Amino acid sequence: MSRSTSTRYPVELRERAVRMVTEIRSDHESEWAAMTQVAQLLGIGTPETVRKWCRQAEVDTGRRPGTTSDDSAELKRLKRENAELKRA
């Protein structure tokens, strides 16, 4: 099973990376170039990780359609609870 990014990278680092991409985007020819630089500066394994964080931040703020982090966490909790009730 793959490791969750929430345990590999602290929330503060993810938030900082998203902020940095927003701040330096205008200095680069593309958003991907900004994400690549932020990944290198912060020691994040791949720019794809930063891209996913940026997209999720857009969903969480309502600028992009999708499932918010809070909704996803609630769904996960309910599925766990449902599985526990089935076992009991």
pLDDT at 5 over 70: no
pLDDT tens figures, 22-34: 999 999 999 999 9
What's the pLDDT band for 13 if we cut at 50, 70, 90? Answer: very high
pLDDT of residue 3: 47
Specify the residue for token string 């966490």.
73
What's the pLDDT band for 8 if we cut at 50, 70, 90? Answer: confident
pLDDT tens figures, 32-64: 999 999 999 999 999 999 999 999 999 999 999
Radius of gyration of the chain (CA): 16
Burial status of residue 12 (CB atoms within 10 A of its CB: 0-12, 13-18, 19 or more): exposed
pLDDT of residue 63: 93
pTM given for the model: 0.79
